[in-house]
Amino acid sequence: MSDTKNHPEPLVALDAGDAAAELHRRTVRSYVIRGGRLTSSQQQALETLWPVYGINDVKAAFNAQQHFGRSAPLVLEIGFGMGDSLLEMARNNPDKDFIGIEVHRPGVGRLLHEIHAQGLGNLRVYCHDAKEILRDCIADGALSCVQIFFPDPWHKKKHNKRRLVQAEFMELIRRKLAIGGKVHVATDWEPYAQHMMEVMSALPDYRNAAGAGLFSTATERPLTKFEKRGQRLGHVVNDLVFVRER
C-alpha cells in the first residue's frame, strides 16, 4: 500500500514479521497472524475506509457517542474472520451497535468494504489483540454481549494453553459485560466445546442460559459458509450462552 498516512498503525505492524515474532515471544497468543493475499477491493478498503470505520487508537477508552452518535446496546465480536455473521447481525439489528475485532487483514478489508457497501452505521472495527482492547479500551459494564464464534481450537495438547476461552480471559469479559449481559461462544470441535463448558461452569458469577451443563440450541447466531460446510462434513456445532449475574 502506498498511502501510509491512512493506514491504522496495527495494520502496518502486522506486515512486520520481526515485530510479530517479538509479540509472540513476549506472551502466549491465542492466534497466529496468517499471511494472505489481499484482493484489490480489500486493499482499497484498508486504504480509504479504515479512517471512517476503523478504530486506530488501541489505548484510548472506546467512546460510543463519538463513533455511533448515540447510546445503544453494544455487542463486541472477537475474531470475526471474513465478517459474514457480524455483518448480518449488524444489518438485522439497527437498534444495536457492534464492534468487531480481527487481526487478519483480508478479513478486515472485506468487512470495511461491506460496511460501506451496505451503508451500515452501527459497526466499527479494531485490528488488534482482543485481550488488549478489552483491557485498555472497553469500560467495565459497557457491553450487552460478547461473541466468540469458532475460535481456533488448538487441538494439539501442547497447544491447549493458547485457547482463547480460559478462566482468566472469561473473567475479564465478565467485568466488561453489563449485569444481565451475555457471552456467546460456539465451536465445532467437540473437545474444545467440553473445555469451554468446564471453564464457564466453574466461574461463579456466570449462569448458563440453557441450564447447568447444557449447550444452547436456540441462538441468534447466523449460519456462516464455514458452518454450513462443516455441517455437510458431519461436524456438530455447540453453542454456549452464559449470562453475567454479578
Residue whose entry in the numeric block shows the C-alpha cell 451497535? 97
Q: Where are the beta strands (DSSP E) in the chain?
A: 74-78, 97-101, 123-126, 143-149, 177-187, 206-208, 238-244
How far is residue 211's CA from residue 130's CA, in Å, rounded to a whole number? 28
User: What order do you get walking across the sheet with 143-149 strand by strand?
Assistant: 123-126, 97-101, 74-78, 143-149, 177-187, 238-244, 206-208
Give catalytic residue positions.
Answer: 152
Contact (CB, 8 A) for 241 and 183: yes
How far is residue 41's CA from residue 68's CA, in Å, rounded to a whole number? 25
Contact (CB, 8 A) for 238 and 213: no
